[in-house]
Amino acid sequence: MRALELLRSRALRLALLYAALFGVSITVLLGFIYLIAGNYVRSHVDEFVSSELDMLEADYQLDGIDGVIGLINSRDTSDHSNHWLYLYVAADGRRLAGDHDPWPRASPEPDGFLTLPVRDGIGTIRAREAHFPDGSRILVGLNDYEASEMRSALARSMGFGLGAMLLLAIGGGVLVTMATLRQIESINRVTHDIMAGDLSQRVPIGGSNDEFDALGRNINAMLDRIGMLMDAIRGVTDNIAHDLRLPLARLRARLEAALTQGSSAAELQRSIGHSIEEVDSILVTFGSLLRIANVESGRLRESFTDVDLSAIAIDAEQLFEPIANSEGKTLLLRVQHDVHIDGSRDLLFQALANLVDNALKYTSAGGEIDIELAVEHDIVQLVVADNGPGVAADQRDKVFQRLYRVDPSRSTAGNGLGLSLVRAVALLHEGSCEIEDNRPGARVVLRLPLGPRQGPANQR
C-alpha cells in the first residue's frame, strides 16, 4: 500500500521529470564537449600532417627526388608504432617510397584532407597529398587513434555518469517523496481526527519554516478561529436561552391566564396586546442576529460606495440631540469635515447610532456625551465617549459578544446586540472597535481605513 501511494505521488512524478530533464541537459552538454574535444584533437593531427608535408616539399626543393625518398625511408625506420603513412609515387604511378600501395581512391574533403581507414588497428588516418613539378606526387597521413580513444573514453564516462545521475535522481526523488508523504500524512491524520469530532487536534509544526510549516500554521489558525466561532455559537445559544426564556414564559403564562380565568373582552385585548409586544421583542432580537450574520458574511462589501463620515456624524448628532436635551444630558460634536471612506452609509450610521444610544442609556442626567471624528496617520477615528459608569476592563471584550450584557445592564432595556453589530460593521470595513476608559465613563473608539478622498482638516 505504501509503495502504491509512492508511485501515485505527484512529488515522485515531479522528481522523475526533473531527473529526465537534467539527464537530457547533461547529455546535450557532454555531446557538445565530445564534439569539441574530438575536433580539437583532430585539428592537432591535421597540423602535424601539414607540417610534415611542408617539410617534404621543402626537401624536394633542395635535394629533389632522392632527398624525398631518403627522408621518407628515415621516417619509416623511426616510426616504430606505425602511426604515420607515407607514399611517394612517380608520374607513371610507380611507388618510389612509402608503405601504402596502391594510391588510395578517396576524394579530398573541403579542407584538403583525406580520411582513410586503418588496415590493422583503431582510428582513421588523416592524410594530405602534394604534387611536384616532375609529375610525381606524395601522400602523408597520421593515425588519429588518440582522438578515437578519447571519444571512446568520453562516451564510456558519459554512460556511467548518466547512469549514476539517474540512479541518484530516482533515489533522491523517492526519499523526498517519502518525506513529503510523511508530512502530508500527519496533516491527513489531524484532519481525520477533526472530522471525527476532535477539534482539539492541531497540525505539528517543525522548525524548518518551509511551505508545510506555513500550511500547518494556517490550518491551525483556521482551527483556532473555528474553535472561537464554536465557542461563540455556544455562548450565543446560552444567551438566547437565558434572554428568551423569561419573555416566552411570561407570554405563555399570560395567554394561559387569559384562557382559564374567564377574562373580560377588555382584559383579553390587553393580554393580547402585551403578548404581541413580547413577540415583537423576540422578533427584533432574531432580526438583529440575522443582520449581524449578514454583515459578518462580507457580502455587503459589493455595495460599498464613497461615504462622508462627517455627514454621518452630524446627522447622528441632530437625531439624538433632542433626546439628550429632554433627559437633561449634553451632546457635544467635534468633527473633522470631508472625511471619506469606502463603505456602507446605512451600516456606519446604524453603528454610530448604537454607540450614541448606549452612551445616552448609561449616562445619568447632567452627564455629557462626546462624538469625535478625526484622522490620524490615514486612520479615521470615530469616538463616542460618556461619563457614565463605564465598563470594567475584564468585560470590555465580552460586551461585543452577541446577547452579552454585563450584570448591571440586565435590568436595562435592550437585547445585547448593539455592540456586536458595531464590531461586525467595523470588521466589514477592515477596521476595529475597542472600549477604553474615559475616567470616568467609557470611550468607544471605532477605527477605519481612510478612503481615497480627504479634504482639509476643519473642525466644527
The string of pLDDT tens digits covering residues 382-395 is 999 988 888 877 77
Q: Domain 211-296 adopts which CATH fold? A: Helix Hairpins (1.10.287)
The mean pLDDT value for 62-66 works out to 86
Whether 460 shows a pLDDT value over 60: the answer reads: no
Determine the pLDDT at residue 410: 45
Residue 89 and residue 139: Cα distance in Å, rounded? 9
Q: What is the mean pLDDT of the chain?
A: 78
Residue 215 and residue 93: Cα distance in Å, rounded? 86
For the record, the C-alpha cell of 338 comes out as: 470631508
Determine the pLDDT at residue 4: 60
Residue 430 and residue 202: Cα distance in Å, rounded? 28
Give the percent of the chain with pLDDT over 90: 3
Q: Which of 33-42, 49-58, 266-275 is the most confident on average? A: 49-58
Q: Which of 37-51, 187-201, 341-355, 360-374 has the lowest mean pLDDT?
A: 187-201
For the record, the C-alpha cell of 378 comes out as: 490615514
Determine the pLDDT at residue 82: 66
Residue 378 and residue 363: Cα distance in Å, rounded? 32
Beta-ladder partners of 128: 140
Determine the pLDDT at residue 436: 86
Q: Which of 64-68, 104-108, 276-280, 403-407 is the most confident on average? A: 64-68
Whether 134 shows a pLDDT value over 50: the answer reads: yes
The mean pLDDT value for 397-413 works out to 61
The mean pLDDT value for 62-77 works out to 84
Superfamily (CATH H level) for 303-449: Histidine kinase-like ATPase, C-terminal domain (3.30.565.10)
Whether 235 shows a pLDDT value over 80: the answer reads: no
Whether 323 shows a pLDDT value over 80: the answer reads: yes
The mean pLDDT value for 205-231 works out to 77
Determine the pLDDT at residue 456: 43
Q: Which of 68-82, 316-330, 400-414 has the lowest mean pLDDT?
A: 400-414
CA 115, 118, 124, 125 torsion-angle sign: negative
Domain residue spans in the chain?
A: 2-150, 211-296, 303-449
The CATH architecture assigned to 2-150 reads 2-Layer Sandwich (3.30)
Determine the pLDDT at residue 372: 92
Q: Which of 68-72, 117-121, 310-314, 434-438 is the most confident on average? A: 310-314
**Model confidence at 8, in pLDDT bands (50, 70, 90)?**
low
**Model confidence at 423, in pLDDT bands (50, 70, 90)?**
confident
For the chain, give the secondary structure using H, E and C: CHHHHHHCCHHHHHHHHHHHHHHHHHHHHHHHHHHHHHHHHHHHHHHHHHHHHHHHHHHHHHHHHHHHHHHHHHHHHHCCCCCEEEEEECCCCCEEEECCCCCCCCCCCCCCCEEEECCCCCCEEEEEEEECCCCCEEEEEEECHHHHHHHHHHHHHHHHHHHHHHHHHHHHHHHHHHHHHHHHHHHHHHHHHHHCCCCCCCCCCCCCCCHHHHHHHHHHHHHHHHHHHHHHHHHHHHHHHHHHHHHHHHHHHHHHHHHHCCCCHHHHHHHHHHHHHHHHHHHHHHHHHHHHHHHHCCHHHHHCEEEEHHHHHHHHHHHHHHHHHHCCCEEEEEEECCEEEEECHHHHHHHHHHHHHHHHHCCCCCCEEEEEEEEECCEEEEEEEECCCCCCHHHCCHHHCCCCCCHHHHHCCCCCCHHHHHHHHHHHCCCEEEEEECCCCEEEEEEEECCCCECCCCEC
Residue 295 and residue 423: Cα distance in Å, rounded? 10
**Model confidence at 236, in pLDDT bands (50, 70, 90)?**
low
Whether 352 shows a pLDDT value over 60: the answer reads: yes
**Model confidence at 5, in pLDDT bands (50, 70, 90)?**
low
How many residues would you count in the chain? 460
| Of 58, 95, 63, 90, the residue nearest 76 (C-alpha) | 95
Determine the pLDDT at residue 416: 64
Neighbours of 9 (CB within 10 A): 19
Residue 83 and residue 345: Cα distance in Å, rounded? 98
Residue 123 and residue 84: Cα distance in Å, rounded? 13
The mean pLDDT value for 330-336 works out to 89
Whether 6 shows a pLDDT value over 60: the answer reads: no
Determine the pLDDT at residue 210: 72
The mean pLDDT value for 135-140 works out to 90
CB of 326 closer than 8 Å to CB of 298: no
Amino acid identity, position 384: V
Amino acid identity, position 260: T
The mean pLDDT value for 395-412 works out to 63
**Model confidence at 405, in pLDDT bands (50, 70, 90)?**
low
